[in-house]
Amino acid sequence: MPYRTEGSAIDAPVRVLLVTSRDSGRWVIPKGNPEPGMPQHTAAAIEAEEEAGVRGLVCPLPLGSFRYRKKRRNGAALMIDVDVFPLAVNQELAAWKEQGERERRWFSLAEAAAAVDEADLADLIRSFGPAEFRAATQRNGLLTAVARKSKVHTMFAWFQRLLPRTGNFFEMFEAHARTVVAGADALARLLQDGSPDHIREVIEREHDADEIIREMLRTVRETFLTPFDRGAITSLIGAMDDAIDEMQAAVQAIDLYEVTDFEQEMKDMAAIIVDAARLTAEAMPLLRDVGRNGARLHELTERIVRMESRADEIHAEGLKKAFKSIGPSDPLQFAVNRELYKHLERIVDAFEDVANEIDGIVIDHA
């Protein structure tokens, strides 16, 4: 599912790209069958370029799946299961393989959900943005079960919600999340084209984040009444800051070793980082009303945790592949690759820490 955001604001609207099918002309997402041995997300990226003329980083973890009935040329109509991978578009081609066979168009999430025929696909499209969220599945009782482990007494949480709040904590959370998203996007572009401009941008974004966290810590010290426990505030923004700190460490290593060619597994981890940053940015405004948004926050954090698990698998696969291909012949290059994988893994680990901190706030205040 190719997507882009309209502007840099944390709540900027998301648009998705749909194409028309060649047979019926109905609106669909680019899709196709992977070649034997080809990862599904790689096949999804190829189909997006051939059918819609767009390129970008595709997250290896599917957003979800849907089913539809596909008519074969022999007249059979068979049920097909489709995994949907989000693809952050950074290049729109003027000419592409199936340009003469399809129409492409950018839609808002609501318009795209209304345009497609498959109800499950419409739910997935709606679930991609904060304002249009409609849960495709419900997780009943999970938050209640976890809440029993909370360290904050429920009466205190209830009382705290009644008190006035001071300090611009939410604005700083959202501003920091914007720097994290921008840093993740720049890191992803670096792994695609190797331009040193992206290194500079990541470092600049990290400096911006440092300014925000310093202001946050000062405000925590000076504010008598905070919306959440002080420890929760500092732990959450600290975890977010760890993510962009590791992005800076990664690009500095790339600059130091003058790396210009990156393994596919590194690009896949970068795609996960981009999507995890996007989900983190979506979560920040929802913290303004945890009680109302608890279910959506849990949906977001659960996906981030699943991303971290998938990133661990990609990390192991990439290291093993590098060891077999260059380890015996070029141990120095293998050591460089191992360091880059380490930084990428730590970025994703930091996002999992962000998810855990958000879950803790939801447990205590929802």
**pLDDT digit string, tens, across residues 135-178:** 333 333 333 333 333 344 444 444 444 444 456 899 999 999 99
Q: List the one residue out of 58, 59, 78 whose CA is nearest residue 69.
A: 78
The C-alpha angle with vertex 55 and arms to 69 and 316, in degrees rounded to 5, equals 85
Q: Long-range contact list for 150-154, CB < 8 A, 24+ apart?
A: 150/363, 150/364, 151/364, 152/229, 152/364
Token pair, residue 193, equals 């084209």
| pLDDT score of 136 | 35
Read off the tokens for 307.
């991303």
Residue 12: C-alpha distances to residues 244, 253, 276, 286 (Å): 21, 32, 16, 14
Cβ-proximal residues to 149 (8 Å cutoff; 6+ apart), any chain: 363
- Residue of 264, 247, 255, 279 lying closest to 355 (CA atoms): 279
Of 84, 62, 64, which is closest to residue 272 (Cα–Cα)? 62
Closest CA to 199 of 180, 215, 186: 186
Cβ of 164: how many Cβ atoms within 10 Å?
5
Query: pLDDT higher for 21 or 136?
Result: 21
User: Could you tell me the maximum CA-CA distance found in the chain, to the nearest angstrom?
Assistant: 73
pTM: 0.73
CA nearest to 204, candidates 177, 181, 179: 179
Residue pair 120/80 in contact by the 8 Å Cβ criterion:
no
Q: Write down the mean pLDDT value for the chain.
A: 86
Structure token digits, residue 319: 């290291």
pLDDT 10s digits, 275-315: 999 999 999 999 999 999 999 999 999 999 999 999 999 99
Residue whose C-alpha is closest to residue 282's, from 14, 18, 2: 14
**Matching residue, tokens 């592949």:** 321
Inter-axis angle of helices 169-193 and 196-222, to 10 degrees? 160
- Average pLDDT for residues 31-42, to the nearest whole number? 90
Q: Which residues lie below 8 Å from residue 261, measured CB to CB, with a gap of 6+?
A: 194
Tokens of residue 198, six digits = 């992206």
Q: What is the pLDDT of residues 78-126, one digit of tens each?
A: 678 899 999 999 899 999 999 999 999 999 999 999 999 998 899 889 8
pLDDT(6) > 50: yes
- Cβ atoms of 277 and 351 within 8 Å: the answer is yes
Distance CA 12, CA 76 (A): 43
Give the whole-angstrom CA distance, residue 294 versus residue 289: 8
Is residue 54 helix, strand or coil?
A: strand
Distance (Å, whole) CA 209 – CA 197: 19
- Residue 22 pLDDT > 90: no
